[in-house]
Amino acid sequence: MSLYDWLLALHVLSAFAWVSALVLYSVVLAAAWGASIPSDVARMLRVTKVGDALIAVGMIGTIVFGVWLALDEYEIWDGWIIAALVLWLAAAATGGRGGKHYNGVRDRANALVAEGRNEPSPELDAGLRSTRGLVIHSTTITITVILLVVMIYKPGA
């Protein structure tokens, strides 16, 4: 296998990690949608730490191997590569905001459990059902899908 083949394989593997994390977050958020008991919320959102690792590996891997591929095989100023870089930055920004929101809910659930307050919490319910959090998460997914389309079809290449 050539260097290009290895870089492409690692780039695609990183993209799989990224998308897997988004699927994991979506499933956990759907499962936790009606939860308001702190121990239940904390238990369900604990799984998102796996997603945090996947998203870190996926996003870092896609940008590192993607830029390396662009420098090795393409021109970094090609329109589709610039579009991919802008979309990557947008996904990182919205994903970070969404992660901050839901990590806050997870941390609050853990704090309530640590305090021994395990009765239903309207605060946790509101955090999990937040329109803002849902819109941010959905925006991240949409940007990622558009990025995948750009990467697959390479418009203008």
* pLDDT higher than threshold 80 for residue 157: no
pLDDT category at 156 given cuts 50, 70, 90 is confident
Residue 59, pLDDT score:
98
CA–CA gap between residue 45 and residue 43 (Å, rounded) = 6
Tell me how far apart the alpha carbons of residues 103 and 109 are, in angstroms, rounded to a whole number: 10
Rounded to 5, what percent of the chain is helix, strand, coil? 85, 0, 15
Q: How many CA atoms lie within 13 A of 133 on its CB side?
A: 19
**CA atoms lying within 13 Å on the CB side of residue 33:** 6
Q: pLDDT band at residue 34, thresholds of 50, 70 and 90? A: confident
Secondary structure (3-state) at 34: coil
Q: Give the pLDDT confidence of 84-97 residue by residue, as tens digits.
A: 999 999 999 999 99
Residue type, 87: L
- For residue 107, what pLDDT is reported? 96
Domain hosting 45: range is: 3-153
Confidence of residue 72 (pLDDT cuts 50, 70, 90): confident
Tens digits of residue pLDDT in 37-69: 999 999 999 999 999 999 999 999 999 999 999
Predicted TM-score (pTM) of this structure: 0.94
Domain count across the chain: 1
Please give the single-letter amino acid code of residue 66. Answer: G
* Structure confidence at residue 21 (pLDDT): 98
- On whether the CB atoms of residues 142 and 87 are closer than 8 A, the answer is no
Q: What percent of the chain has pLDDT over 70?
A: 100
> The tokens 């050539």 sit on which residue?
2
